[in-house]
């Protein structure tokens, strides 16, 4: 039976595509920055990137799966989503999937039930940051709905591979942040909008370490001590690459543990701090190191919903590997 799609489906899927663009550009650029020469070059000059095409990773592959299911069904159908994740994994297993994801998706691809496979691979459910890294298209699709609807769809999306309460909380926090960015896209530079993003996330994220981390992030000032900036030839100013993010990382994490608890609080902070500037948000996120591609995917998806397609540097979009939907 053909699914019944909402009347405003075209507008919803356009928002999902915008979020997917922001996510995938961040993912692909972030992936290049695991190499020290690229890391230092882009922090010294945001346009001094390695030549494209930049390959996207499993972050984008799974976000594409969510986008496709929403495009076809207008909601998260968990069984369909699990099969879509498995199909994309089977077609391109080299995208950087973690060991647990490889086992789970291989079982689903072979015809297994995702519920059984998930419990067998992750007893009690996974709290890995994969639930948050792929969520931006969902945030975009449901961004005009109330936050409770966003949170419910995010929960359904997470449970397919990340049923642990922290995995669910991470997906909800990132999705609500993205929806909030869209709802307040007219005033992304307003300090009240940036602080309001924390309020929305805290109001709808379940009690969890993720939520505690976001509350800690909300208390950190955006105005951090910075060294003097310098002006580049193309007219923009940047901080030198050696500006330390260590104090922030110590408080919020940077994804090094590959968990939602260690990833999402920092990403919400970085996105809120630069909600009106995609480029600055991504560069700040890169500076924190850790799980760079995933962090940049989360931040990029949120901020794209605030700044629109024109806010994503066209040079970066051109260098990102083409998306195949």
- Domain ranges for the chain: 9-221+237-319
pLDDT for residue 46: 65
> Measured between alpha carbons, how far is 39 from 34 in angstroms, rounded to an integer?
7
> What mean pLDDT value characterizes the chain?
90
Local confidence band at 123 (pLDDT 50, 70, 90 cut-offs) = confident
**Which burial class, exposed, middle or buried, applies to 146 when counting CB atoms under 10 A from its CB (0-12, 13-18, 19+)?**
exposed
Instruction: Provide the whole-model pTM.
Output: 0.92
Structure confidence at residue 231 as a pLDDT band (50, 70, 90): very low
- So what's the pLDDT on residue 228? 40
What is the tens place of the pLDDT at every residue in 131-167? 999 999 999 999 999 999 999 999 999 999 998 999 9
Residues 6+ apart with CB under 8 A from 92: 61
Amino acid 221: pLDDT: 85
In sequence order, what are the residues at sequence separation of 6 or more whose Cβ sits closer than 8 angstroms to the Cβ of residue 226?
A: 239, 243
How high is the pLDDT of residue 93? 95
- 81-87 long-range CB contacts below 8 Å, 24 or more apart? 81/157, 81/160, 82/108, 82/114, 82/160, 82/161, 83/108, 85/160, 85/161
SS (H, E, C) the chain: CCCCCCCCHHHHHHHHHHHHHHHHHHHHHHHHCCCHHHHHHHHHCCCCCCCCCECCCHHHHHHHHHHHHHHHHCCCCHHHHHHHHHHHHHHCHHHCCCHHHHHHHHHHHCCCCHHHHHHHHCCCCCCECHHHHCCHHHHHHCCCCCHHHHHHHHHHHHHCCCCCHHHHHHHHHHHHHHHHHHHCCCCCCCHHHHHHHHHHHHHHCCCCHHHHHHHHHHCCCCCCCCCCCEECCCCCEECCCCCCCHHHHHHHCCCCCCECCCCHHHHHHHHHHCCCCHHHHHHHHHHCCCCHHHHHHHHHHHHHHHHCHHHCCHHHHHHECCCCC
The domain 9-221+237-319 having CATH identifier 1.25.40.20: the answer here is no
Cβ 57 vs Cβ 23: under 8 Å: no
Tokens 């961040």 sit on residue: 26
Closest among 249, 243, 318 to 28, alpha carbons compared: 318
| Angle, helices 209-218/191-204, rounded to nearest 10 degrees | 160
CA distance 182 to 104: 33
Which phi and psi (to 5°) does residue 216 adopt? -65, -40
Write out pLDDT tens, residues 300-312. Answer: 999 999 999 999 9
Residue 318 has pLDDT above 50, yes or no: yes
Task: Give the pLDDT band (50/70/90) at residue 2.
Answer: confident
Token pair listed for 127? 């709290």
- Share above pLDDT 70 across residues of the chain, in percent, rounded to a whole number: 90
């Amino acid at each position: 039976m053909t699914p019944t799609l909402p009347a405003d489906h075209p507008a919803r899927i356009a928002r999902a595509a915008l979020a997917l663009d922001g996510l995938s550009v961040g993912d692909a650029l972030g992936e290049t920055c695991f190499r020290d020469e690229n890391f230092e070059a882009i922090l010294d000059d945001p346009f001094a990137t390695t030549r494209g095409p930049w390959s996207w990773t499993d972050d984008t592959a799974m976000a594409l799966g969510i986008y496709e299911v929403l495009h076809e069904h207008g909601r998260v159908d968990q069984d369909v989503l699990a099969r879509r994740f498995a199909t994309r994994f089977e077609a391109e297993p080299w995208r950087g999937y973690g060991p647990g994801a490889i086992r789970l998706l291989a079982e689903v691809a072979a015809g297994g039930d995702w519920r059984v496979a998930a419990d067998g691979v992750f007893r009690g459910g996974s709290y890995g940051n994969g639930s948050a890294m792929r969520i931006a298209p969902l945030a975009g699709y449901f961004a005009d709905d109330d936050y409770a609807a966003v949170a419910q769809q995010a929960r359904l999306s997470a449970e397919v591979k990340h049923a642990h309460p922290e995995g669910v909380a991470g997906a909800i926090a990132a999705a609500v942040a993205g929806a909030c960015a869209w709802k307040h896209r007219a005033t992304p530079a307003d300090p009240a909008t940036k602080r309001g993003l924390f309020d929305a996330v805290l109001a709808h994220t379940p009690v969890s370490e993720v939520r505690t981390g976001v509350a800690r992030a909300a208390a950190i000032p955006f105005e951090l001590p910075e060294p003097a900036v310098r002006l580049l030839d193309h007219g923009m100013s940047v901080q030198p690459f050696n500006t330390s993010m260590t104090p922030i990382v110590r408080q919020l994490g940077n994804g090094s543990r590959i968990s939602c608890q260690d990833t999402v609080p920092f990403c919400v902070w970085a996105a809120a701090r630069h909600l009106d500037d995609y480029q600055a948000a991504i560069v700040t996120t890169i500076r924190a190191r850790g799980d760079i591609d995933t962090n940049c995917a989360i931040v990029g998806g949120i901020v794209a919903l605030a700044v629109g397609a024109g806010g994503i540097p066209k040079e970066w979009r051109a260098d990102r590997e083409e998306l195949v939907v």
